[in-house]
C-alpha cells in the first residue's frame, strides 16, 4: 500500500500537466513567440536579383554561434567557396551565441561582405536569409533581432521558388504562425523550401509536428533544420526533413542544386 502511494505521488504531477495540456485545445503559449510573430510583415531583406529562373544553387549553413569579429570573419570566408550558380544563403538558426546586438552586427557585416564579393565576381548580390534559433533569443527576447533584422517569420519568392522562414526558436511554432503557413502555402511555387531551427523531435507539442507534416505534404520539397549539430534525413509523405551539421570547426555547409524539379544536396566545408 505504501509503495502504491509513493508511485501515485511520483506520476501524478506530470500526469496532471498532460491532462491540462490536452484539454486546452486553444492553449496560448506563455512565451514571447506570439509577440515575435507580430513582426512577420516587417521583412527588410532583398529578393534575389535577377530572378532565380529554373536552374540555380543555394547555400545552407547552420549554427554558426558567432560571438566575436573573428567568428564573423571566418563565416564570411564562405565567399571563397561560392560558385556562379549560387544565388542566396540561408542560415538555419543559432547564428549568434547570445543574441546580442553586437553579435548580430558582426553577422550582418559578414553578410554584407559576402554580398559585395558576389557582386564584384558574379555581377549580382547574394542575399542572406537568417532563421532565428534558441541562442538568438537569449538576450532581451530577441530585441536586437527585431531592431537589426526585422521579422523572424517571412516568405521569399522568385520565379517558381518559394522560401518559408519559420520561427520555432522557443520549441514551438504557435497557432498563428501555422495558420499563416497554411494560408501562404496555397500560393507557393513549384519548388518550395521550408527552414526552421529546432528539430521537430524536440518540439514541445507533438500536435504541431503532426499539423506541420500535414501542411507540407505535397507542397514542400525539403525542410532544412539545424539545432542538432548532426546530419541526418527523414523522408515522410514525400517531404525530406534534412538536418544539418553545425558550421563548427570544419566550416561545414551545404550546396543545394536545383535543376527544374530535380534537387540534390552537396555537403561542403571550408
The domain segmentation of the chain, as residue ranges, is 28-269
Which residues does residue 235 pair with via DSSP β-bridges, in sequence order? 240
Task: Indicate if the pLDDT at residue 215 is higher than 60.
Answer: yes
Of the candidates 121, 118, 92, 65, the residue with the CA atom closest to the CA atom of residue 241: 92
Which pLDDT tens digit goes with each residue over 220-259? 999 999 999 999 999 999 999 999 999 998 999 999 999 9
Whole-angstrom CA distances from 254 to 69, 201, 242, 257 are 23, 22, 11, 10
Of the candidates 144, 66, 76, 60, the residue with the CA atom closest to the CA atom of residue 109: 76
pLDDT band at 205 (very low <50, low <70, confident <90, very high): confident
What is the grid cell recorded at 243? 538536418
Spatial separation of the C-alpha atoms in residues 217 and 206, rounded to whole Å: 17
> Could you give phi then psi for residue 227, rounded to 5 degrees?
75, -45
User: What's the whole-model pTM score?
Assistant: 0.88
Task: Indicate if the pLDDT at residue 180 is higher than 50.
Answer: yes
- The pLDDT mean for the chain works out to 90
Say yes or no: domain 28-269 is CATH 1.10.3720.10: no
State how beta strands 55-61 and 154-158 pair: unpaired
Which pLDDT tens digit goes with each residue over 110-163? 999 999 999 999 999 999 999 999 999 998 889 999 999 999 999 999 999 999
90 neighbors 163 (Cβ within 8 angstroms) = yes
Which pLDDT tens digit goes with each residue over 128-137? 999 999 999 9
DSSP helix/strand/coil, 31: coil
Residue indicated by cell numbers 527552414: 195
Mean pLDDT confidence for 177-199:
97
Residue indicated by cell numbers 571550408: 270
Task: Kindly give the residue spans of alpha helices, DSSP state H, lying in the chain.
Answer: 2-23, 33-37, 69-76, 101-122, 143-148, 175-185, 206-216
Spatial separation of the C-alpha atoms in residues 63 and 16, rounded to whole Å: 36
CA angle 188-122-118, nearest 5°? 80
Q: Which of 22-31, 119-128, 138-147, 260-269 has the lowest mean pLDDT?
A: 22-31
DSSP helix/strand/coil, 175: helix
DSSP helix/strand/coil, 113: helix
- Taking phi over 0 as left and psi of -120 to 50 as alpha, with beta for the rest, 209 belongs to alpha
Amino acid at each position: 500500500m505504501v509503495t502504491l502511494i509513493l508511485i501515485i505521488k511520483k506520476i501524478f504531477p506530470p500526469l496532471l500537466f498532460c491532462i491540462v495540456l490536452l484539454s486546452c485545445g486553444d492553449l496560448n503559449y506563455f512565451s514571447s513567440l506570439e509577440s515575435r510573430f507580430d513582426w512577420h510583415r516587417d521583412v527588410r531583406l532583398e529578393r534575389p536579383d535577377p530572378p532565380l529562373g529554373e536552374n540555380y544553387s543555394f547555400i545552407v549553413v547552420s549554427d554558426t554561434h558567432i560571438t566575436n569579429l573573428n567568428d564573423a570573419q571566418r563565416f564570411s570566408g564562405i565567399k571563397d567557396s561560392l560558385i556562379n550558380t549560387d544565388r542566396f544563403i540561408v542560415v538555419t538558426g543559432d547564428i549568434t551565441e547570445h543574441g546580442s546586438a553586437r553579435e548580430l552586427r558582426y553577422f550582418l557585416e559578414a553578410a554584407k561582405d559576402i554580398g559585395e564579393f558576389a557582386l564584384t565576381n558574379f555581377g549580382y548580390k547574394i542575399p542572406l536569409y537568417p532563421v532565428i534559433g534558441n541562442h538568438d533569443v537569449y538576450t532581451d527576447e530577441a530585441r536586437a533581432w527585431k531592431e537589426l533584422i526585422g521579422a523572424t517569420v517571412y516568405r521569399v519568392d522568385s520565379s517558381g521558388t518559394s522560401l518559408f522562414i519559420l520561427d520555432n526558436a522557443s520549441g514551438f511554432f504557435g497557432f498563428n504562425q501555422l495558420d499563416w503557413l497554411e494560408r501562404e502555402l496555397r500560393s507557393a511555387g513549384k519548388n518550395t523550401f521550408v527552414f526552421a531551427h529546432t528539430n521537430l523531435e524536440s518540439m514541445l507539442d507533438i500536435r504541431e509536428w503532426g499539423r506541420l507534416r500535414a501542411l507540407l505534404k505535397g507542397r514542400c520539397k525539403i525542410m532544412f533544420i539545424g539545432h542538432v549539430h548532426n546530419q541526418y534525413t527523414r523522408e515522410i509523405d514525400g517531404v525530406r526533413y534534412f538536418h544539418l551539421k553545425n558550421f563548427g570547426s570544419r566550416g561545414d555547409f551545404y550546396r543545394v542544386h536545383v535543376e527544374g524539379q530535380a534537387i540534390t544536396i552537396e555537403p561542403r566545408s571550408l
